[in-house]
Each structure stands twice: as structure tokens, then as C-alpha cells.
Amino acid sequence: MRIAILSRNRALYSTRRLIEAIEKRGHRAVVLDHLKCDIVIEQDRPSIIYHGDEVKDVAAVIPRIGASVTFYGAAVVRQFEMMNVPTVIESQALVRSRDKLRSLQILATSNVGMPKTVFTNYSKEVAKIIDSVGGAPLIVKLLEGTQGYGVVLAPTKKAAESMIEAFHSMKARVIVQEFISEAKGADIRAFVVGNRVVGAMKRQGKEGEFRSNLHQGGSGVLIKLSKEEKEVALTAAKAMNLNIAGVDMLQSKRGPLILEVNSSPGLEGIEKATQKDIAVEIVKFAESLIEKSNNRSNSRRRRIKSDA
């Protein structure tokens, strides 16, 4: 079977590992740059043109869509869905996960713990915003930030007021979030595939750094999740309707607190920390979607034949 990976660079670690896993499972890997896919919209015959040729005989799709190209990447995934090609991440779930505010609203109604968070439309009531998340220190995050960029720690109320007012003056949309001091600059990344947590690591920020992201110099080590942490990770991924997800959470006095659910989690950190073949788990899940799709198609054909 041909399994397509939507990726802009086949040399990236995650893309390379997926290619290896697909071939290991006896399939053929096809890497498509989603920004070079032309979407053909035609009644009853949706299709995709890539480098002048129509994309055919793809059994499943594994999207690796960067945040900066979510709009077009999601459109390509949606086109595959219209072509009845199973995709491990659904287009609507991808779009929803990239809207930080919407994601937080969904998670807040899903019975998972979260840090107190405030979003406003450039409100001048900055002092009240700070008080509503428990005061300083607190976290200020750009809504468009990724990989730890656009995330700052305000150690005092005065510093927090200055930061928020500066962002507002630049018309930059931010969320203000409670600082969980007992986390001590560490968080947990739980990697969810289907209805299972297939790996987890604890990410620790480098000395003097509150951000634990690996892109910010943090380090990842294997961790065994508690039953509650597993349940929270699975609940969060399900709430976002994501079959593949990196669920980031903090360990706090009141239990695990969800920070974010990532729809395109990298494989390098989690595989090195856990020594597990996460890429193969993703391919196995793609195979299960292919099987379900084939069963549905066979069922439809049997119904049509019996009706005739």
C-alpha cells in the first residue's frame, strides 16, 4: 500500500522516521509537499495534482502540517477526506488545535484540569486581569506562538502590567495564564496514538529557564505516568478529536494541568527519551484506518449488490 506523508521536508527527523516505519511495515512511503499540491474541486470528482500528475492510489495520509501553513495544509487534508482517503489527523481537528483560544475553551468543558487563563480584547483593566489568575508571577503567551516562542514569565505585578500593555499597544493578542511554581520549570509530554498513550517524557527547562520546550534547550527523560495523568491525556486528545497528539501538562498540587494539545508533535524528543518506535505506532494506526475504510467500502458494495 502507498501511504502519503504530507511534509515540506523529507529530511526532517519525524518525516524520515515515518518513511522508515512505513517501509518497515511493508508499505511504500510517498512524501508530498502540501504547499505544492493543487486542489481540484469538481462535482463528484475531487482530486489533487502534484507536480503535474494526479495523486492516485493513496491508501492513507499522515499529515505533518506546520503551524505557519495550517490554512492550506488543512485544505489539502480536507481534499483527501473528500477523496475518501483515511487520514490519521482530521482536517477540522487540525484547524481547531491551532486556535489556542478555541482549544482552551474546548478543554475547559472536558473535565480536565488547566491553569487559570484570561483572554481579553485589549482590555485596559490590566490589574484585574492579573488578579484573576492569582497575581504575579504569571505567564503571558502570544496566541500565535509555537515551540515556546512568544511565551514570557512576568515575575512581578509591575512587570506583568508592562508586558501586557506593551503587547496590547502592538495589537498582539495574548493570553495571561497562572504560573504553577511547583512544576519547577518542567512539564510532561504524553504522546497519544488512537486511544493509547504510547510514550511519555518529562521535559525540564535548562537552568534559569521556565520554558521546558526542547527547542528552548530543555531536556527530555522517560517518565512513567500515573493513572490520572494517562486518563487526562487521553481525555484531552479525545476532546480535541485528535487521533495523534502530543499532550503537554504540568504536575501541580491539584493534579495534572493541561497546557496544550499539539496536533503535529515531533518524534525526535519522545523517541530518544523513551527508546520506543513511536513512528511505527502511527503507521499501525494508519493501517487500522485503512482496514475500517475497506470494510465500509465492502459493506456498501454488498448492500448495492443485494438491492440490485
Which domain CATH number covers 302?
A: 3.40.50.20
Same domain? For 135 and 195 the reply is: no
* 22 sits in which H/E element: helix 13-24
Domain boundary among 160, 179, 198: 179
Structurally, the chain folds into a number of domains equal to 3
Tell me: do 204 and 300 sit in the same domain.
no
- Radius of gyration in angstroms for the set of CA atoms belonging to the chain, rounded to a whole number: 21
Claim to verify: residue 155 and residue 187 sit in the same structural domain: no
Q: Cα–Cα distance between 86 and 88 in angstroms, integer?
A: 7
49-73 per-residue burial string, b: 16 or more CB within 10 A, e: under 16: ebeeeebeebbbbbbbbeeeebeeb
Domain boundary among 164, 179, 194: 179
Are both 241 and 194 inside the same structural domain?
A: yes
Do both 28 and 78 map to the same domain?
yes
Check which CATH number belongs to the domain holding 240 and give it. Answer: 3.30.470.20
**Residues 33, 57 within the same domain:** yes
Where is 166: in which H helix or E strand?
A: helix 157-169
Q: Does one domain contain both 128 and 175?
A: yes
Are residue 77 and residue 101 in the same domain, yes or no? no
Range of the domain at 145: 117-179
Domain match, 106 and 205 both:
yes
Whether 274 is in a domain gets the answer: no
Question: Does residue 27 lie within any of the structural domains?
Answer: yes
CB distance 282 to 62 below 8 Å: yes
Q: How many CA atoms lie within 13 A of 148 on its CB side?
A: 17
Same domain, 14 and 76: yes
What is the residue-level pLDDT of the chain in tens, covering all 308 positions? 999 999 999 999 999 999 999 999 999 999 999 999 999 999 999 999 999 999 999 999 999 999 999 999 999 999 999 999 999 999 999 999 999 899 999 999 999 999 999 998 888 899 999 999 999 999 998 887 565 578 889 999 999 999 999 999 998 889 999 999 888 888 999 999 999 999 999 998 666 555 555 555 567 899 999 999 999 999 999 999 999 999 999 999 999 999 999 999 999 999 999 999 999 999 999 999 999 999 887 776 666 666 55
Residue in 186, 179, 189, 249 with CA at minimum distance from that of residue 212: 186
CA angle 254, 261, 170 (to 5 degrees): 95
Instruction: Mark whether 171 and 191 lie in a shared domain.
Output: no
**Does residue 273 lie in a domain region?**
no
pTM of the complete model beyond 0.85: yes
Q: Which of 132, 156, 179 is the last residue of a domain?
A: 179
**Are 247 and 138 within one domain?**
no
